[in-house]
Amino acid sequence: MLFLWLYMFYSCAGSCAGLTTRGSPAPPRAAPPLSPLLPGEPGEDSSLEEQRAALDAGSPISSFFNGSGTKRLPQAIIIGVKKGGTRALLEFLRVHPDVRAVGAEPHFFDRNYERGLAWYRDLMPRTLEGQITMEKTPSYFVTKEAPARISSMSRATKLIVVVRDPVTRAISDYTQTLSKKPDIPTFESLTFKNRTTGLIDTSWSAIQIGIYAKHLENWLLHFPLGQILFVSGERLIRDPAGELGRVQDFLGLKRIITDKHFYFNKTKGFPCLKKAEGSSKPHCLGKTKGRTHPDIDQEVVQRLRDFYRPFNMKFYQMTGQDFGWD
């Protein structure tokens, strides 16, 4: 019926508009004026044709015909941390009908910033009114320039950080590298500048990433604490529905993702989805997730725990959350 109505409407627009009193010439019609754009809106300094295109692109009738909505810059970004559980969180969130997310990591604010916001927006999925556009790139959290760049895009951007015991995270980081480069030095040798003195090598990225308090200080120069949600990687495994509940609240979404969406995979050791986005089949993260960690000298593990303890305490104070990593 809708298509029939539209057909009749446009047919009439071409023929009915020309009907006048018999014998009377049809008066000339002026083109409808273009609605003025507010300062700062797309097309402010563009040509008349560009303004019309910008307006048409966002019109409901245009969205109806292309059937896929509009590409928008992300309103929320998972900014970190590497090996914290960011992929799991993104896959879980994509089950929500009001979340649309990029699958691959764009790395815009750390590696591709010179390409510009138009390039970045073109990577985003199309969304309908009321849906949230998201992306995740864990390296943003430790990239010095990222906070200012994201703030420049939009100060209203909501940020999500998935954090995990920094010692376990460092070992997981090393395990991933080891799977790609089997000939790298041992974890123990990379941990110390000098093992005899016990001096930790904070220049090694696997160690440096876990100093969360240091990185958070940089973000708080550009975003208020209330605009950043800290997700526990450990709780994401133990109670995925509980953590997803917090995330949905933070994003202003209805709590649709609940316990019924998950089952625990004993082989992998973490929760999986009963049904993935756009599928009726169960879905677990790939074989690159949940790798078995190598045995690490327990003395080295303890030294790392001692090293991270003051940074963890400061991070707890800054966030108002005790993650229980000691």
Residue list, annotated binding site for 3'-phosphoadenylyl sulfate: 83-87, 164, 172, 289-293
71, 82, 83, 281: which is the annotated catalytic residue?
83
- Per-residue HEC secondary structure of the chain comes to CHHHHHHHHHHHHHHHHHCCCCCCCCCCCCCCCCCCCCCCCCCCCCCHHHHHHHHHHCCHHHHHHHCCCEECCCCEEEEECCCCCHHHHHHHHCCCCCEEECCCCCCCCCCCHHHCHHHHHHHCCEECCCCEEEEECHHHHHCCCHHHHHHHHCCCCEEEEEECCHHHHHHHHHHHHHHHCCCCCCHHHHHEEECCCCEECCCCHHHHCCCHHHHHHHHCCCCCHHHEEEEEHHHHHHCHHHHHHHHHHHCCCCCCCCHHHEEEECCCCEEEECCCCCCCCCECCCCCCCCCCCCCCHHHHHHHHHHHHHHHHHHHHHHCCCCCCC
**Is 83 assigned a catalytic role?**
yes
The annotated binding site is made up of: 83-87, 164, 172, 289-293
Q: Which residues are known catalytic residues?
A: 83
